[in-house]
Chains A and B, each alone.
Chain A
Amino acid sequence: MTAPTGRPPMSGADPAEPAEPGTGADPSVTVARSGPSEAAPETAATASTGTSAPAAAARPGRRAGLAAVTGHRLLWPGVVLALLLLANVLFTPGFLSIEMKDGHLYGSLVDIARFGAPLILVAVGMTLVIATGGIDLSVGSVVAISGALSCLWISGLDDQQDVGGVLVAVGLALGLSLVLGLWNGFLVAGFGIQPIIATLILMVAGRGLAQLITDGQIITINSSPYKLIGGGYWLTLPFGIIVVAAVLAITAFLTRRLALGLLIESVGGNATASRLAGIRSRGLIITVYAFCALCAGIAGLMISSNVSSADGNNAGLWIELDAILAVVIGGTSLVGGRFSLGGTVLGALIIQTLTTTIYSVGIPPETTLLFKALVVTVVCLLQSPAFREKVFHRRGRRPGASPASADPKVKVPA
């Protein structure tokens, strides 16, 4: 209830959208979710006292502040992450301790960030794609291709320690990733193919392409400059974390300090409307897919450099699903039209922490997938307005209002 949305209240019903502080403009108005069912459980307490949104907003103070906190979209992911960390602390004393050894930072938390770095990168790219209402299934293949190409180039060098040669390899891999991303974007924006399908092409063919590059072998290299990317340290921090921080900072600046983020959200909210408003949605969509593939390419470099080898078959396998999960857990809707970079990072950290927890607590690693399924289901259910309404907020529902509960979505013409 941070601000009246300016829309007239719907016939006596509470028009409250779930409070979304931070994103002033929410252009996804076209994705109309039935007004009354939208009230989040936390905000419902506030909303039920006031008869309409303006009245609730005009009542500043504790309740509004509470609603701003409890209704924040990062709340649930944050709670889940905190619980996971808490579980770790209980099972592993000294889990939170971070110490310096040989001028490097060591500790479980550092490890989570280090091993989670590729996932965070891929997920950040994915966030922007999903914000435009798209999806990119091909990131796993791009990860494999990028790692394969750079390792192939480095393995062909006379001197694998040559920094220049490694830089060329990195440049080649990132360039190819960019091209693949442009191809995806071109299919989506140029041909108007459904994103899930357009990127499915590269997801299937890309795996084959990666194996073609590596000739079905696992290319192993021995290059210390290359090793730095995924396994090295710089300024006491793992280099991967620095890369992630840099990419995050650039992305956050471009999307939240400049208008780019707003434009992306508006394209995701309604591509046609934003084109009519003068936004070049086509170029924007292509850019977003290229950026996503670039992120995946960097992640591919990290993964292959961490193990000093390229495996066309298994590198980045299922990372697209993990990345999409991270994005969804972070509160970005798959419908598009809004995104949260912070949420995505939280989501990726949750997934990585979950994996680490399972190892450190001593649960058989085979059950990782079960826990993942559990966490995904719980987080998604908690975030689902329909679920919250049905479980937490039974009051005020008319009996037999099944058409209303079916949540009529206005399909956005792409």
Chain B
Amino acid sequence: MSSDVVTSGPSGPKGRTADRPARAAVLRGRERYIPVMATGALLLAMFVVGGMRYEAFASGQIVLNVFIDNAFLLVVAIGMTFVILTGGIDLSVGSVVALSTMISASLVTGQGWPPLLVIPLVLLIGAALGFAMGCIIHYFDIQPFIVTLAGMFLARGLCYTIGTDSIPITDETYTAIAQTRIDLSAEMFISPSVLIALAVVAVATYVLHYTRLGRNVYAVGGNEQSAMLMGLPVARTKIAVYTISGFCSALGGVLLSFYMLSGYGLHAVGMELDAIAAVVIGGTLLTGGSGYVLGTVLGVLVLGLIQTIISFEGTLSSWWTKIFIGMLLFVFILLQRLITARRP
């Protein structure tokens, strides 16, 4: 049943176009891979251009640094991918990230709680927030935009009620994790956060493509009404994606607290935009139903590489990052539009 519903899964588009022309409109040919491939090509081109232009750019560590500096964004964007695949949107991610850093910092530094207790608690809070928003969105039929906007205000407001100043984290476990370098070779290293982020990517890929929940996500995003009429658990799926997004945001917050070693209500301001931009640049359709986790990974890398290039350039000011990201968004959205327009 569910395999008929799925509009895009990795399990091979072979032979589908021939016998099911009507249903396979989305599957036709390999068009659905074009956005992801375009993102990959762009990434490659940026890397090559950067390598030719700047000394010491073409090294593996540059790529690894992009991962290290954006591990938290990657995790958050993965959660956002789930939500956007169902056709929803989650504006609360940045605030939940900030709230997670704030709770971690206040409990660990202020109350002296052990990190092993704090981290699960933070993850639980994030998931619970997401769950609550998912319930409101589904059962009370209010637009995701508004509900998650309220969630954004709520989480950010909670940050400020905990404290308006930055709280440093001096706990040994946190500093140890922050300073750990995992050497891949003599010259290259990654941080534990990268491993966690990659684990999240692997789990997300598995869930989206090899489990019932993943198929339901694509089905709901493709057409919610059809999914419902087919008897798919729309309610469970929709609530699940917001819970996943909340959980990922909280995990991103934990990673950010490793990275920053502080909790602050102004952390991750505007991160929801970065996450959405990464997902869009990664080729996920904002109407839902089509997209890949891999695309989101590439999207995050593109955003990170833009920042790296701008810092290498030296003369360009930081606001050019925003202008470039805006231009990229435009190009990729146009590309998506052209691809979808060619469908019958």
Contact = CB atoms under 8 A, between A and B. Distances in A.
A364 B161 CA distance: 9
A376 B322 contact: no
Nearest to B89: A196
A23 interface: no
B288 to A, nearest CB: 11
B235 A406 contact: yes
B289 to A, nearest CB: 12
Contact of B286 (A196, A216, A402, A405): A196
A194 B287 CA distance: 8
A372 B228 contact: no
B52 interface: no
Given A197-B333, A324-B149, A369-B153, A208 B140 contact: no
B330 interface: yes
Give the one of B89, B154, B277, B322 with max A CB within 10 A.
Answer: B322
A390 interface: yes
Give the one of B91, B140, B334 with max A CB within 10 A.
Answer: B140
Contacts of B330: 201, 205
A371 B89 CA distance: 23
Contacts of B138: 406
Contacts of A192: 337, 341
A386 B277 CA distance: 32
Contacts of B147: 380
Contacts of A408: 225, 228
A138 to B, nearest CB: 10
Interface in A159-208: 191-194, 196-198, 200-208
Contact of A372 (B157, B317, B327): B157
Nearest to A329: B146
B138 to A, nearest CB: 8
A381 B140 contact: yes
A370 B156 CA distance: 8
Nearest to B325: A204
B310 to A, nearest CB: 11
Interface in A59-116: none
A229 B32 CA distance: 51
A381 B157 CA distance: 20
Nearest to B228: A406
A129 to B, nearest CB: 13
Given A191-B334, A193-B333, A325-B149, A208 B139 contact: no
B203 interface: no
30 contacts: A192-B337, A193-B334, A194-B287, A203-B273, A204-B326, A204-B329, A205-B326, A206-B326, A208-B321, A208-B326, A211-B319, A216-B318, A312-B319, A321-B152, A324-B146, A325-B149, A335-B143, A364-B161, A366-B265, A367-B157, A369-B154, A373-B153, A373-B157, A376-B146, A376-B149, A376-B153, A377-B136, A390-B139, A403-B228, A411-B225
Given A366-B265, A381-B142, A403-B228, 13 more contacts: A193-B337, A194-B286, A200-B277, A201-B326, A212-B319, A321-B149, A334-B146, A372-B157, A380-B146, A381-B140, A387-B142, A390-B140, A405-B139
